[in-house]
Each structure stands twice: as C-alpha cells, then as structure tokens.
Structure 1
Amino acid sequence: MSQRWPLIRRQAEFDAITASLKARSECCGVVLTGDPGVGKTTLARFATESLPGEVRWVAGTESARSIPLGVFAHLVGASTSRDPVTLLSTARQALIHDGDTHQDMVIGVDDAHLLDQLSATFLHQLALDRVVNIVATVRSGETVPDAITSLWKDGHLLRLELMPFTREQSIELVESVLDGPLEGLSADMIWEASGGNALFVRHLVEGALEAGTLRRSGGVWQLRGRAAITSELASLLETRIEKIPSDVLHALQLLTFCEPLDLDVLCALAGENAVEEAERRGLVRIVEERHHLDVRYTHPLFAEVIRRRVGRAAGRRLRGKLVQELSNGAVTGAAHRIRLAELALDSDHSVDPALLASAAADAIGLANVPLGERLARAAFEETGDFGAADLLARALLWQGHAAEAEALLLAFSPDSLTQAQLVRWGTSRIANLFWALGDSEKADDVLAVLRERVTKPSLLPVVEGIGSVCAVFENRPQEAVDAACAVLASERPWAVEWAFFGGGLALALMGRGDEVPALAARSAAVAEQIDGLLRFPAGHGEILALTMTGHFDRAQRRAEQYLAFASSGRYLAWGLANILVGTVELVRGRFTAAAQRLEQAIAALDVGDTADAVSWSVPAYIALGQTYAVLGRIHEGQRVVSEARARSGRHVAVFGPQLELSAAWLAAAQGETSQAIALARSAAESAAAAGQFGVEAAALHLATRFGDHSTAPRLAALAEQCDGELVRIAAAQASASASSDGPGLAAAADRFRTVGALPDAADAYAQAAIAFLRADIKRLSVECAATAAALADECDRMLSPALVEAAHPLPLTIREREIASMVAAGLSNRHIADRLFLSVRTVEGHIYRACIKLGVADRNELAQLMNLTTRPTKNE
C-alpha cells in the first residue's frame, strides 16, 4: 500500500486560480478562503507551480504579527528605519527593480489573516499597482486585516471559497492511498467524520490503519469501530479546544456522550449562555428535527477529541447527569429507550434490567445487532431470565456467533418454558441452526418439537410461518406457499414476517411474482415488531418477484428503500441491503456496479466464527459469479462459484438451480457453449422438478441465448403459466430462434429493450443479426449487430456467445466455432474431447474443417485468428 498522499485535482478551482494569475486586467490574482485543512495551500502551490514565472512564498504566523513587514523580511531585507512609509518604499525597491513591472512574478501568501498591518498594507499596494500577481489563503471565520479584505472587496483579487471534498473526491483520495476499493459504508463514515476536509481525511485514515480498525477483507477495505484520529490531528484540534471557556467545554462534554441532544435538555444541564456561546463560536449547530430543536456538533472530530479528554470517572458522572435529566420526562419511543439504556449502562446510576431488555429489543429491531448484543448481555447478566437470553441469542446468531447462541438457548429446557417462550426458543434455535450453522436436519427436529408441543391457536401461526421458510430453503416451494397462505391472516407479527419470507420467495421462484406485493404490504404493517435484519433476506423474494416479472423500476425503488432502512443498522444491514440492490443492477445490465456492490456485501457479511456457514450471503455469491462471467473475469468467477458451492447444502437447496446458471455463464464465457447449454438445461430440469417454474423459464431462456433451438415448446407453456412480460418475450425469442426468424428475433429484442432488460435485448439483437446474415439480408444484419454492440457497451461491455458471433461472423458451424474457441483458450484435443464427450478423432476433424474454412494452416494459426475475433477477458 502506498503511503504517499496524492493531490486530488479540483479542475474548476485550479483553472480559476491560474486564469486569475495570468490576467492582465480586472484582477491580479486570487484569495482562497476556507476552513483549516480544506486544502487551500496545497491547491495554491500546485496552481502556481504550473506557471512559468517566479513564485515567492511568505506565510503569516502569530509570532510574526508583532514585527512590521515581518513575513516579508526574507524577501526585502532588513531596514534600520522605523518610519512606515520608508519601510514600505524600501521593501518595494527590494522586491521590484526600478522601472520594471513583474506581472510574471507571483507572490504567495499563506494564512494572510495573520499578517501584521504593515505587511497587509504592502500586499495591498502591490495589488493596487498591478506590479505582481498574488495568491493568498485566508482561514474562514478569522478576523482579517482591512487591507486584505479590501483586496477582494475592491476587485483587485478574485475571492474563491474552497469547499470540502465531495464524497466522490474523498473516496478517490482514500482509495488511491489504500490501493484498493473502499467499502461504501466505510466511505460514508470517513466522509461524514471528516466533513470532506482533506487534512482530516488523511489523519482519519492513518489513525484507523494504526489502530487496526481499517483493514482489508475480501479485497475490500472496511472501517470497523469508532473513527480513530492521529495524535497529531488531536493536537491540532486541542489547540482550539484549549481556548474554550470552561462552561462551554462542559456543554460540549455533555453533548459528546449524547448527540444529538435536545436543546432544552442541554440548556438545563449546561446553562443557556454556554450553549449560545458554543453556537456563536461555530462549535455546535441547532437543527430542527420532528418539531423540536436538537444540538449537534458542527464537526464530528471535535466530539472525538473532547471525548478523549474526559476521564472514565468524569464520563460516568456526566452520563449520570444525562440519565437523570432524560428520565425526568416520559420514556417514549425506541430511540429514547436505546439512548437512555446505553447511557445508564456506562454511568454512575443503577440500571433497570427491564429498560435494558426493552432497549435491546429496540436495537435489534432497528438492525443494530452489536448494540443489541451489548444491552441484551447486560440484561441477561442482571436477571438470567429467558427473555434476555433469547434477545442475546438472536443478536449473536445474526452476527455469526452461532455456537454461543446455541449454547445459550440449550441452557433452557423446553419443559421449563411457557408455550409463548417455547415458540421463541424454538424459532430462535431454528434460525440459528438453519441459517447460521447450516444444520437443517437438526432445525427440522426442533420444528417437529414445536409442532408437537405448541397447542395454543394464537401461537400455531408462528410455528407454521417459520415452517414455510424452512420448506422453501429445502426446495419445497409449494409446501412453503401453502403454509404461508394459511397463516398470513394471523395478527402475530412474527407469523406474518415468516410467512412473507417463505411464501414470498417461493412464489417468486414458482413464477407467481404478481402475488408477492400483497404479501410485502402485509409484512410492512408489522415490520417494526420483528428483528430488523430479517427484513432483508425476507425482502429477497420481493425483489426477485419484481425483477422476474420485468418491473425493474419498482424493484430499484424497493431495493433502495431497503438500503435506506439499513442506515439505521450497521455493517450487516448494509451488506444484506446491498445484495438486494446488486440483484437489480445485475438484471438491468449494470454489471460493473453490481460486481462492486456484491463484493462489498460479501465482505460486510464475513462475520463471526462461522462466517462460512452463514446462509444469507449465498445469493450474493451466485449473483457475483454470474456478473464476473458476463464481464469476462473468468478466474474470479470460478473462485466465487466454487465458494458458493462450498456453502451449498440442504439448508440452501433452493438456490441450486441458480448456482447452475452461474456455472453456465462461466462455461459460456470460456467459449464452451455446449457445456453452457447443458448446464442451463440441467438447471431448468432441477427447477421444474422442484416446482420453481419461474427459474425454469429463466434457465431455458438462458439456454436460448446460448444457441439452444429446442426450448420454444416448453417456454410457450411456461409463458401461459408464469407471471410477467419477460417469460412471454423469452418464448417469442425461442420460437424465432428455432426457425432463424430474423424479424421475430428483432421484435423480441425490441420488447426486451422496452421493458429495460438490456442484456437480454443485446443477445436477441445479436441473434437477429446472425439470422439476417444467414438469410443474406446484410443491411438489417449490420443494423442489428450495431444495436447489439451498443447495448453491450451500455451494459459495461458484456460478453456472451451471441454477441461475439454477431461482432465477428465466421463461416463455421456452431460446433466448429465452439471447438475453435476452446483451441484458442489453450485446451488440448484430449481436454476438448473430454469436455464435449467426443472422441479425439472427431475433435481433430472439426479443427481440420475449421482451418480449411478460415484459410489457416494449422492449429496454432487457428488459435491466433480466434483470439483476434474475441475480446480478451479482463484478467487474462
């Protein structure tokens, strides 16, 4: 990793500075204003270095303010005179030769607000006479000498306010130093903590690296834990803090433990004058949120520095004051309970275990399971009761700490629990066993215990609800739908959510996607009463339903809503939400964005001691494998598909057909179209056997895109059975493909393009181009090939067999082209024969005929020619 911090070029500001320094009228330079560390000096020096003339720099300092012309001493020499006029005249003569103008000379003044009055006057005279060009920096919020202020007020210098980095600029800076991608959530944290200040960004990253909280996982850099700052940055900020009056500092200390804080509460604890002074000094800001006023720090790093200055005992005392004041009113709402419980836990006040348990449930409901674990653990240590244990187990299982969660639950005998507790005990164990440990057999045993022991009618829907999820994950979608539909009318939030989870996913895979939005609406009514992280895997079925029925815009909006909710949680919520967004990006052909998002999602979910067994990330591995294949990143795709296979089993059997489709894409990317078609048809057969008719249709459509001409009859039947426009268009494409119907293929491509399925449209146009060429209709062939290429470029230069053939038509049969592509990939005749289940002699015959048709002498020349007609993959 490079330790050198590069310059992020701000082109607009750079151009404005250089233009002002080259001007011969209006103004003779620029004044850059901005907050400390925003990059004023760096940009000014970078701009002046690009100019041909001489550049002389001076810098204002506190120590030089008492010395007349002190900052210019090294440029103009010493003078024995004490007369200001004489000093100015002498300085001018020393700097500027008599009778000359030096408009190519640039005087750079750093921190011009610190200039003594005579230096400021001297600079003003130089600007007034236009004898030099000037670039100066001024810190925002500081008192500036009148002579400096008049430089821009009177139009002698252009005033340019330098703003903090945008999020994109901050990411560019950090990634250039880390030499790798930065996780989106971590990028947000660094940008928000730094406020886009270049100096702060640098120190935050260096501090986090030193503290070990910024580390690489799966090729992605992640920030985990509080933002760390270097001692150097802390010293810089403490210089400002040391000037703060004690009453203001007390207000800031209270705020650092409870931000944001109600204005009235802070005024009651610290005094109105202190809060008003803090606002006047620009240390805090007052914001209106939900019809009341909250106090926030102007910059997050000041809170961090002040927190570091408060000792442990003082921190407990300050938190205690906050707890006492916040407890005076009614404790209402999840946010209030969580805040009060977290403060009380670290204060000198006793903590109510009931408050801890309630706040733990709130935190888990908002998807902040690390905080939920902390609060639940504290509650369990106080009481040892089952309610706190269940909360703790749920927080643990979501984080991949499955063994601890299982041990915690096993400490309670089912015989000692009420039926309501038994349901909670059983469903938590099933979730842990099934999706954290990957042991579906033992989970089924626990489900059987619940079905045997739970007799209360009001509790039975919860049992059947989670049973529907188990059924669909074990690849029994019809059973899942039947169970889900039977319990959706229940008033139990957990019953409804489990039913939405199991039934929604099952309906989507069965091709009944139009029925899922109703389940999603039912779930939304109870979502606040269940574990927040459960929303995301449950929402996977909803997103699949929308994409498989061709409602891409709706799918995008819903996925982004899930991502917005994830902001209330932490890394796990963010990772799970990004699987949903990445799923939509994949089907829309935004492959590069999908790859980056899915990579980061997988890295974010790599948690706990049993990360390899956690099932939530399996769809991400499958989607990422397909994305890599479409982009030609074959080695990465093979690795990811292998990792997906390693996570496979009965507990995620439902995803088996989709995993085969990723493998089919990989085969196609390597030119092995026969194998790709075989894998796609195998996926279709296994999907059909399980009743996943929507997946069967998708698999047969993929086989059609790879060149299979036998899919039309079954796709026609599925078009009558499955919801959505996509299956009907796929059936039309298959029918046209079977008869090499160019107009029919072009019409199907048009329809795909209209609904937004751009990758499907690209392949259909490519197949139309091939069909028109074979019919010797060259104009239409060229038009369709051009449209296919344009769409492929729009989809990040996607690769597929049809696109390659349309772009580089060759007089070869499908089998000859496939074998020639495998020759180009470096496979021996024996390897080709084994992969295609042919004899070596048959392979040799195909190679010989391909050489004759293409006019090449031997196998080596055939490989060279084929490599010229296929775009190289991105990692080969």
Structure 2
Amino acid sequence: MASGGAVVLVGPLGTGKTETMHRVAHALAERDVASDLIRGLARVPTALAGSGGLPVAGAALLVDDAHDLDPDSASMLIEAVCRQRVPVCFAVEAPTVARASSDPVTGALLGLASKGFARRIDLEPLGDAEARSFVVESGAGDLDDMTIETIVWLANGSRALLKELAEVAREASADGRDPLVAVRDVPVWARLADTVHSHLAGLDADHLRTLVTVHRFPGLASAHAVRIRPQHEIDALRRGGYLHREESHTGSLWANPLLAQGAARILGAAQVDALVGSAVSRLLEGGGRWWSPPIATGLADLLLRGGALPAPAPAHLCQRALRDAARRNNDDGRWAAAEAYAAMGIAGAADDAGLQLELAHARVSAGEPSAGLRLPEILSDEEDRARALLLSATWGVRGYTSRAQELRSALERGASGPEDPHVTFALIDALGLSLEWPEARDAAHDAARATTGQWRLWCWLMEAYARGELADAEGAKRLLTRVDEDVIDGGTPGLTTTDRLWILMVELATHLVLGEDAPPIHERIARERRRAAREGNDRVLGIAGLAVALSAAVRGESDAAVRSLDAARARFAPLRQDMAVAGVKLWIAQFLASNGRTGEARAIAERVETVWSEGPLSLRHACAATRSIIDALDQRNDEAARALRGALAATTSRQSPMRRARDLYRGVALDVLGEEALLEIRRLLHDGRSPLTHALSHPPHRSPREGTVRSAFLGTLIARTPSSSDASAAASPRPGSAESSSLTRRECEIATLIAAGMSNRQIADHLFISVRTVESHIYQARGKVGAGSRRGLGEYFAGHAIGA
C-alpha cells in the first residue's frame, strides 16, 4: 500500500481483519503515508472529501467491513483502484458457510484480486493450539484445562468470540462459579450474545434449523441425522466448524452449543418445537425399525410434559423412549429427571425390568435406597443384565449391600450358562480388588479368549494391569499394545469418549505400577480432552477432567492437576462415589506430594479415605500407602511408619509383588525394616522386568545432599536414571555438563527461581509468563536432568550460578 498498491483482506468473522487494519494504519503512519479508516456501512462520498467523485489522491484508504458498502460507493472505490488513483485495503468477510443468495458487492471486490488489480490476503480462523495460546495470553490461563478446551471449541476459531468467552469465564471463576455454566447460560442482553448473533449472520434459515436440530439431539448418529435433515446442510456446517463428528462407527454429531443456542433464539421457540416434533415423527413413522436414543429422549420429553404427540406412538415405543431417557439422565447424574421418566414408564409397564432398574438406581443414587423399590426377580435380557451388573457394583461400593445382593441374585437366576461375560467380568474385578493378581490375570486371559468386542478389550486391559502388579513388564506392555491397536485403529466398535478416557487412565496406571511414565498416553489424553469438550455433558467433562488431572500430576504440572481435579469433582458429583475414581485420585495425590504439594495431596487422600474407609482391600492398601508417602515427604516419619505398617499388613498374605516391594523399600528407608526386607524384595522381583526392579533390590542411597527418606520414597514412584537428582553427589550432573547444557535459558532461569524458593505463581509473575508455561518448562527440565520432582530440580541447581 505504501507504494500505491491495493489489498483485499478476506476471512470469516472474528479472524482479525479489523485488528489488521489498525496495524496497517500504524505501519503506514510510520512510513509517513496518510490513511483514512472508514466502515463499509458509511457512504464513501460523505465520509471523504473527493474531487471528481473519487477519493483524494495521495492518501491510503482502509475500508473495514467492505462487504457492507452500498453499490455506488463500491463502484467508486473499484474504479479508483483500477485507475490506480488511490491505494485501498478492503476487509471482506468470507462466511464459513456459503450464503443462500449471491452478494454482488463482495463478488466485485474479490474480482479485483482475481483480475490482478489487488493482492488478496486470506486470514484463517485460529487453530486449536493458537486459540489456547490466545486464551492464556488474554489473562485466562488459570482456568482449568477442560474449560479452556471448551472455550476453544465454542469460539470456532474466532478471536472476537475467544475474547468474550475468556472474559465471561474469568469473571465466573473469580466469583467462585463454574465458568462453563457461565458461558452456557449467556443472557440475551450480554455482549457475548451480541457477538454470537453476529457470527450467525452468514447462515441462512435452513442451516440454522440444522444446527438447532443437532444440538437438540446431542450424540445423534450421522445415519439418523440424514433422516431428519439434508446431508448437504450437515456437511456444510461440519466444514464451517459448527458441528463436530465423532470418530466412531456411528459418527455421532455434536453441535457447538453456544452458536446453536444463538440460532435457537433467532428461530424462536415455535420453530424449535416444530423441529423436535418433526424428528420425533420420523422416528415413530419408522415403527421402531430404526431407533435413535437422542431422538427417543425428545419423545420422552413430550410424554412427560403431557403435550400432543406429532404422530401416533405405540405403547411399546413410548416405554422404550422413557427407559432410554431415564438411563441417559442417570448416567449424567440427573437423578430427579431419571426418576420422573422411569416412574412414568413404570405406570404403564410395571413389569419392565429396564425401567425398574433405572427407577431403583435414581432413588438409590439420590440417597433413598428403600423408597418403595421393586427390583426384577430375574434378569435374562442381555442389555438388562449388563446394566444390572454395573448397578450392583455401584451400589455395593456405596454401602447398599442388600440391594446389590438382590440384583446379583436376579442375575444368577437369569444366567444363560457358565460363560456369561457379565459374571466373568465381575469375578475378575473382585479378584483384583482382593489383591489376588495371579488369579485375576488368569481369569482375564481365559475370558478374553472366550469373548469378542468390548468385553475382550476390557479383559486384555485388566490382564495387563494384573501383569503390571506382578512385575511382568513385557507381558503388560504386549497387551497394552494390543489394546491400543484395537482402540486407535477402530477395531472395537461402540467405544465412547468416556470409554477411551478410562482405557487411557488404566494404561497410564499400569505404567505407573511398573515405575515408568508414558509420554504417548499424555498426548492421547489431550486428544480425548478435545473430544470431551465437544460433547460437553457433565459426565464426560468430569471423566476428562480426572484424566487430565492425572496426566498433569504425573508430568509435574501441579497447579493444572489441582485445577482440573477440583473442576471435575464440581461438574460431576458421582465421581466422589466411584471406586475406580478413588484409585486415580490417590495416584494424583502421590505425585502432588512428590512435587512438594503435600497439603493438597493430604486433602485429596483424606477425602478418599472418608468415603472408602471400609472399601475393598486394594483401595484400603492404596490409601495407607498414599498416606505413608505424603507423611514421609512432609517429614512426618513417625506417621509415615504407622501408615506403612498398615499397607504392609494388607499385602502380607496376598500375591501383590509390586505393591509389597515398594512398601518394603519404604520401610527400609524409614528404618522400621532391616536387611531381611531387601531379601524379600529380591525374592518378590527375582524374575520381574519392571523398571523399578533393579532400584528396589538395593538399599536406599545415603545422600549427603538430600534426605534418605525423601530420596527413597521419590524413587519408588518413577524409576530414574543414575543422573537423577536423588543420586549421589558424585554421580549428579552439574551445570555446564552435557546434561545441564541441554537446558534452555528459560529452563535454567526457572530452575534457579525454584531453588530460591519461589512458587510457580511467583515465577510466572516474575518472568511475565503464565503459570501453565512455567509448569511446562519444569516438566521439560526435569526430564533433561533426571529430576524426579519439582523440588528435586531446584535442589539440583541450588548453590550454582547458571550461566547464559
């Protein structure tokens, strides 16, 4: 432009066209080139003093929102560009979804570039990584990972939406409210609502209807979506980022809820109701030949409200819809709604086993286990049996043992034979909870050979974990590779995002049992985190938050781990009563303690013990072992010894070599056990090949720089190399060595500030970077020098001047 040329900036709304125009104006001013900035809504002859009907020569013209120019003004400016009378920069909005009708002004402006009269520059929406950085840089970096990931999804690459969403979320978090609830419930008068409305201007009425329909039926299978909305509209919205398609055999669809709610306001309640009625009618017209649980839930809503149905509905389809709605709400923790659906269904079909199960589960989960429950006498249907098995396990661990036994009795009466996978799976689980790992390994191995699909996948996973507990690293990793091939390559249909997250957590826990980290699993958890944000229900957000917290804790990002765990607990309350979740929380507590966060680790462990003090043996052992780690790292050696004796008692008569070997080694470090403990460790691990086998078979090293107890306890979490900060002073690398020279300047700065006693927040403020960036640098630096913890990294650099 400074040399007289013309430019056409093209990009969707929110890609930074206006910001770019202001930067261009500043850059021109630095080159002593005058410029005028006008909006496309202004009439050019009025906005500028011209001669001969054209802008004044010698000044550059910046036209924002040029697509809104009136035809006369557009013609004037196009003529000026063609005659090279004035340099002009046009900012033109390119809708993410094609407009229903042609726009002659936009077409003419784009024609300047295609005909060589102007240079075209396309501005793209922000990618996910760029959007996350944008949120952090906008001052919202202290939000939990799931909130940031959800904001990125809702903004759809728009800087304008990102800015507004981050502001709303940050204010909600500061007020102690869930930021995701705040961005979901946007008042129509809010600035964010205005921004959303402007981002929907490029959609015609048909696209708005399709967006609203998919949002009204979250998780709608692609094959069912095309029964109720045109394929080309679905494809266009997917390309524009308004819809997300799950990578599964069903291709479930999820709509951007923020934009879908804005679309619903534009259409109005009457049109939205008509869309729901039309979808339900299609389902009913099929007579059950095709069935969509999300649409069935829409039918259940109509039945519950008592409104007129859009088409005749046979009784058996109504019962099925109410059962599906009750199950979905039970799974999402909305027990009052689940009870309402199930109770209505029971009124018309008192003997429906599925409805009986959902009504019972809603009342038991709400704390009313004796509120007139009627359980099925016999369970023979495959789907009902799978559901009952899950519910009986859930009730049992929550203390409702008599109700759980009633369900198990109904399962036994309806068993089809000894090879019933439901009963087999429960047996494997029970063996593991009792620390009978050889029996659990063998039972899972046999069951995997007799089953297929998801059952076989979970059996492989349980066998891998059992082998990890038995120190069989090669066998465990071989099975985990098989699991990964099935999950990643899509060989096992029907896996949900929640299923995949649990698979990854069990895989990571198996590696931790063996004493090693697994970086690829952290990357896969990050990918599933993105999928969870797009699905957006409380259950998947809670499970994803738990997985993210575990990953962050293991990687040494303690602030992120605490934020994610707190958010997960608040978003999905049933996490507090889930036994598997309790085990994950204890792992998180151990790694938080290893990074000097013993206060938060203790709070997590105490909450788990409050709920699970009478839980199964494996969980009682994990609680005692975690307490011993936290107390030892908090320099409470007497309390650590008492907790450790409790952990050792749990494994005295059990074949659980990895757990017992760790406890014995910690006992030696605390001086409550002697040489005989090391001999027992060697017997336990004599043919094992886990990464910790070698380390646990030798006495704790007496380091002059670091307490023996702390060093030994850290060494039982992740196996470390001889260059670890917990090794001897002679073996430790020093600044200037090959190990330390691999650190970046920023990593050295952060390490020295840790040694000076600064927290991550203080370091972030001192260096003018985000806490998340500090945590990332710490994780990278620890890996380079072999430090087992944040504190170990600081102690490694203590007293040394780090040169540039």
What TM-score do you get using the length of structure 2 for normalisation? 0.68
Aligned match of 1:622 = 586
User: CA shift at 1:467, angstroms?
Assistant: 5.0
Cα gap change, 1:165 to 1:693, in 2 (>3 Å): same
How many residue pairs get aligned? The number is 728
Query: 1:295 and 1:712 mapped to 2: Cα distance?
Result: 54
Of the three residues 592, 596, 612, the one matched with 1:632 is: 596
The Cα shift of 1:480 comes to: 5.6
Structure 2 residue 600 is matched with structure 1 residue 642: no
Aligned-pair CA distance for 1:307: 2.3
Distance 1:217 1:691 in 2: 50
CA RMSD of aligned residues (A): 6.2
Question: Structure 1's 515 and 299: CA in aligned 2 closer, same or farther, altered over 3 A?
Answer: closer
Question: Is 1:320 the counterpart of 2:289 in the alignment?
Answer: no
- In the aligned structure 2, how far is the partner of 1:485 from the partner of 1:262? 34
Amino acid at match of 2:720: A
Contact map agreement 1:466 1:502 (CA 8 A) in 2:
no
1:34 Cα deviation (Å)? 1.7
Measured after TM superposition, the shift of residue 760 of structure 1 is 3.1
SS across alignment from 1:650: coil
Aligned residue in 2 for 1:432: 394
Residues 390 and 546 from structure 1, CA distance in 2 versus in 1: closer, same or farther, beyond 3 angstroms? farther
Question: In structure 2, do the counterparts of structure 1 residues 162 and 250 end up closer, same or farther at CA, with 3 Å as the change threshold?
Answer: closer
Match of 1:110 among 44, 64, 67: 64
**Contact 2:542–2:569 under 8 Å retained in 1:** yes
- CA change 1:28–1:370 in 2 (3 A) is same
Q: Which of 684, 692, 701 is the equivalent residue of 1:718? A: 684
Residue of structure 2 in register with 1:860 after alignment: none
Q: Secondary structure of 1:38's match?
A: coil
Rounded to whole Å, the distance in 1 between the matches of 2:221 and 2:442 is 50
Residues 645-667 of structure 1 deviation map (CA, whole Å, 9 limit, x = unaligned):
43331225423444455445545
Residues 314 and 448 from structure 1, CA distance in 2 versus in 1: closer, same or farther, beyond 3 angstroms? closer
Counterpart amino acid of residue 631 in structure 1? N
Are 1:510 and 1:693, in contact at CA under 8 Å, matched by a contact in 2? yes
Aligned partner of residue 159 in structure 1, secondary structure: strand
Do the aligned partners of residues 448 and 578 (structure 1) sit closer, same or farther apart at CA in structure 2, a change above 3 Å counting? same
Distance 1:251 1:345, change over 3 A: same
Q: Of 789, 792, 796, which residue of structure 2 is paired with 1:799? A: 789
2-structure distance, mates of 1:393, 1:626:
38
Contact 1:766/1:803 (8 A) holds in 2? yes
**1:117/1:668 CA distance change after superposition, 3 Å:** same
Q: Map residues 302-381 of structure 1 onto 2, 5 A cutoff.
A: 303-310=260-267, 312=269, 314-326=271-283, 336-342=292-298, 345-346=301-302, 348-352=310-314, 354-355=316-317, 369-370=331-332, 378=341, 380-381=343-344
Counterpart of 2:39 in structure 1 is: 60
Aligned pair partner of 1:548 in 513, 537, 540: 513
CA drift at 1:720: 1.8
- 1:718 corresponds to which letter in structure 2? L
Matching residue's letter, 1:466:
A
| Matching residue of 2:543 | 576
Counterpart in the other structure of 1:840: none
Cα distance in structure 2, aligned partners of 1:297 and 1:574: 14
Q: Which moved more, 1:129-138 or 1:377-386?
A: 129-138
- Structure 1 residue 685, shift from structure 2 partner: 6.0
Give the equivalent residue in structure 2 for 1:392: 358
Q: Which residue of 2 aligns with 1:760?
A: 719
Q: Structure 1 residue 770 and structure 2 residue 729: aligned? A: yes
Q: Quick one: structure 1 residues 293 and 179, their matched pair in 2 at CA, closer, same or farther if it must change by over 3 Å?
A: closer
Residues 768-806 of structure 1: CA distance to partner in whole angstroms, max 9, x if unpaired?
A: 542559xxxx99997788899986264897537876666
Indicate the residue corresponding to 1:817 in structure 2: none
Q: Which residue does the alignment assign to 2:305?
A: none
Counterpart CA distance in 1 for 2:326 and 2:507 is 22
Larger relative contact order, structure 1 or 2 (CA cutoff 8 Å, min sep 6): 2
Aligned mate of 1:161, from 122, 127, 131: 122
Q: SS where residue 37 of structure 2 aligns? A: strand
1:140 corresponds to which residue?
94
CA–CA distance in 1 between the matches of 2:594 and 2:207? 59
CA distance 1:498–1:784, change in 2 (3 Å): closer
What is the distance in 1 between the residues matched to 2:72 and 2:659?
80
Supply the distance in 1 between the matched residues of 2:241 and 2:551 (Cα, whole angstroms): 41
The residue type paired with residue 59 of structure 1 is: I
1:32 aligns with 2:29: no
Report deviation, 1:387.
Answer: 2.2
1:381 to partner: Cα distance: 1.2
Would the aligned equivalents of 1:365 and 1:529 in 2 still touch at CA under 8 Å?
Answer: no
1:174-222 deviation line (CA, Å, top 9, x unaligned): 5566746444444444333331223334555678899xxx768999743
Paired residues of 1:582 and 1:598 also in contact (CA < 8 A): yes
Give 1:435-834 correspondences, 5 Å limit. 435=397, 437=398, 439=399, 457-458=417-418, 462-463=422-423, 465-466=425-426, 468-470=428-430, 472-473=432-433, 508-511=468-471, 541-549=506-514, 552=518, 570-577=537-544, 579-580=546-547, 583=550, 590-592=555-557, 596=560, 599-606=563-570, 612-651=576-615, 653-667=617-631, 669-670=633-634, 683=647, 686-688=650-652, 690-699=654-663, 712-722=678-688, 724-731=689-696, 734=698, 737=701, 760-761=719-720, 765-772=724-731, 792=782, 794=784, 799=789, 807=797
TM-score normalised per structure 1: 0.63
The AA in structure 2 aligned to 1:194 is: A
Matching residue's letter, 1:339: I
**1:558 and 1:794, CA in 2 relative to 1: closer, same or farther beyond 3 A?**
same
Separation of aligned partners in 2, 1:196 and 1:371: 32
State the 1:131 CA deviation.
9.6
1:596 corresponds to which letter in structure 2?
A
Which sections of structure 2, spanning at least 5 residues, go unmatched? Answer: 96-102, 303-308, 705-711, 744-750, 752-779
User: Structure 1: 5+ residue runs without aligned partners?
Assistant: 1-20, 77-84, 741-748, 809-867, 872-876
Give the superposition deviation at 1:318.
3.5
2: CA distance, partners of 1:201 / 1:779: 44
